[in-house]
Amino acid sequence: MYDFIHDISLRPVPFSRYTAKELWTKPHLSRQMLKYHLSQETELASRRFETIDGVVGWIDQKLNLPGKRLCDLGCGPGLYTKRFFAQGAEVTGIDFSEYTLEYAKSESQGDISYLYADYLTDSLPSGFDIITLIYTDLCVLSPEQRSILLGRMRGMLKPEGHIVLDVAGIGLLQGKREVTLIEDRLMGGFWAENEYVGIQKTFIYEDQHLALDRYVIIEPGETWQIYNWFQHFSPQMIESELKDAGFTVVEIAGDLTGEPLTENGNLLGIIATPS
């Protein structure tokens, strides 16, 4: 017991443990994540529909969606893909959550192509005009994983294509604090169907502009953990990382609705093209 509690108290080496996939593939959590995706009362899994409409409208304004081949990586239940399709794009959605992907398929009536795949490891299609990676998906990956994904995205694009993504800004990190919580049914039953005790320990890594929410879920017959790493970027940081991956940034905004870029903002919306 001492070793277990002591381990929880320690600050992990950045990205030394990685469990992001379990958040989307454990059956109960998959159902919860779909519920949160569709909810208009919280933005824990996706943005409200009016914001999503604004994102799609801004991308259309910048890149002229009609007739373009577009791939939405991490598409979830298809909240963006169906809107891209409605704007005239030829759309493919890719996700490794089978549960949410089945929901997306049920809503598409066959007019959108959906692929069940892990975009870090599985074979991916190519020849796209636009690839989107929305809702700060890049931020949960390690530097090595980000490099792999950006390289794969570059290979999926036509030479004159564009990637569109958003990342967390430095301002979002400035609003976080290190906390420790121990609660019966932490987050109101989000983590398991039956009884459990949840521990949340938040660590801030100021020098790396990184945060970790570590969750320990203790059920009567099982104990398991989720490590939710979250990288934050300044405009210079994300531009440098994209340059190293072979991209040239053509626009940085305050988010993907086109809000003006501000110093230490909460979000950055980026459009880039292969160098």
- Over residues 98-107, the pLDDT tens digits come to 888 998 999 8
pLDDT in tens, 76-131: 999 999 999 999 999 999 999 888 899 899 988 779 999 999 999 999 999 999 99
Report residues of the chain scoring pLDDT below 70.
42-46
How far apart CA 261 and CA 177 sit, in angstroms, is 24
The predicted model scores a pTM of 0.93
pLDDT at 49: 86
Q: Where are the beta strands (DSSP E) in the chain?
A: 69-73, 90-95, 113-116, 128-133, 157-169, 180-184, 197-205, 210-219, 222-233, 247-253, 267-274
Ramachandran region of residue 129, left (φ > 0), alpha (ψ -120 to 50) or beta? alpha
pLDDT at 48: 85
CATH topology of domain 37-168+234-274: Rossmann fold (3.40.50)
Task: Specify whether the CB–CB gap between 82 and 59 falls below 8 A.
Answer: no
